[in-house]
Structure 1
Amino acid sequence: MDISHGHEGSRYRARASSELISSDDMIYVAGHRGMVGSAVWRRLAAQGFDRLIGATSSELDLRRAEAVEEFFAANKPDVVVLAAAKVGGILANATYPADFLSDNLRIQLNVMDAALRHGVRRLLFLGSSCIYPKHAPQPIPESALLTGPLEQTNDGYAIAKIAGIMQVQAIRRQHNVPWISAMPTNLYGPGDNFDLKFSHVLPAMLRKFHDAKVEARHNVTLWGSGTPRREFLHVDDLAAASVFLLQHYNEAEHINIGSGVDVAISDLAGEVRDAVGYDGHIDWDVTMPDGTPRKLLDVSRLTGMGWKPEISLGDGVAATYRWFLDHPEARRG
């Protein structure tokens, strides 16, 4: 368990009405060893929040209500960032839909119920852009939620995340606490999952091109047609947005987090291939699913508050590949 010790102070301090989060707060980052949680932890620490607490999955199984209750009773956080989740790409979601639904529902319910019982004042629930209908208007506004059928390949995960939004909204109405939800677009960066069977599209591409380069293969096969369009956000930008929202956002409606720019998967492949330095040919396996034709978030509410991302796709992919090279353990699987 990782706990950053600072001055203690009273758990129930008087606050200015406009102050949503303070450097005095004890902040629990659920999922602090994952790609998202670790980025949020780094950002909080960089901005002077030094009372941070986290527990690994081996130390605390968030699917077990009793264990979560004991953790909150012992540590009494003021603020929670709920970044813990069971995540995976198209194949993983399509193969294990019941696991993705059940595990994520349990994690969310256990953390939010315990947080409410133990007086957590501020909570940020991080979901996913897969909550939106498969054929939602583009770019996708927050109001598109529950207006059409979901993409079937990840509907179990999406339903769990929709339930998380609903839970935050219900708790706000019933208990009048400033809890919020944010829905990030496709994320990538240090700490990503590069397993070829279960990773998302960008890290899977990076791994495939790297392996082909090392093995001197002349071609790489990628799934689908390459025509769908996707939006990507570096996880450090997501972390910056998350802290910004904790400091400034207090509305019941969830808010989108993204770059506001999308790219064809075929063009993404070119960016990743260039970053890796692979000069072979790309073959597209059109027998494999493309997923949603396009998924671009409307981020006008967030940018209207004064926040915008800072890391371009090219710079972010190059930095991610450098991290991948520096961490051989990321190449397992």
Structure 2
Amino acid sequence: MIHYYQIDVKEAIQEIESETQADWFALYDATDEEIKKCLQTYKLPEDLLARIRQEEEVARLEIYQSEELKEVQILVLTNLTNQRDKRIEERLEPIIFIFSDTVMLTLTTAESNFFPRLLEKHGSAVASKESLTAYAILMIYSHYIQELRQIKEVIDALDDDARETTKNEALDRLANTERIVIFLDHTLQEQKETLQTFFEETKFAEQLSDTKLRYEINLRQKYAEKMVRLYRDLLENVGGLFSDMMSNNLNHLMKFLDSAALVVSVPAMIAGIWGMNTGGLPGEKSNFGFLAVSAGAMFLAILTAIYLRNKKYSK
């Protein structure tokens, strides 16, 4: 269904049944038929219904003239849900705001609980369409910051793992975390440009009387952008640490194999010399010659192993 709300400075925001008295039409659990009918009534782009289901939908601002609503501003932002069991692209949901002089419409997927949570958290503080939008932007950035704090814990754990192990499980977590951070980085950059255009090219900033709220939006926006850049660099550092650890382990393995080859080559060389059958070799006619040669070869192999073990290759 479509939810109708009336925003009053004194009584804050309240849900009503009358469409004609509503300031805000919230389409957050409406059927496709209800959404299409609403879009057709106000002669809005019908592709808005498809946009809210597109994973690749990007933040943007569109301004055009409508016969029904006169000047229309369509603001598309991207929220991050807390469904961490899903892939990152499935967690990014479009939040569409449609502004006009007379009414505001918002559009989300039927599964989204963004606006019910917004009303639960900030409903008593909403005094205008501008403050409703501002609190929505504020909550969107709060979701990104919460996710980035979770990512910081994962990065710290990966940093510890990189110093102790190079198991596939840790490498998979590193790859997944890098993928999430890349998505967040690009999404926040797009959103920053869109909001900057929205604040500069519309009257939103002038009509938002709460300057503290605008300041809080800017603060969280900068904080989220700083965190995502910092964590992307940290992930590159952790990835480099994993590579260095694997290279170091490989170097140790190659050193061991080279040393083992040298140790084995000593008795092989001695046995080869005594097996030339050229005559005149010590012990060739003795019953204990084989045992003596074997013992001597083993002794020299042990000496070679001890020497290689104590050899300092860094000098």
TM-score w.r.t. the length of structure 2 is 0.30
The structure with higher relative contact order (CA 8 Å, sep 6+) is: 1
Q: Larger helix proportion, structure 1 or 2?
A: 2
TM-score w.r.t. the length of structure 1 is 0.29
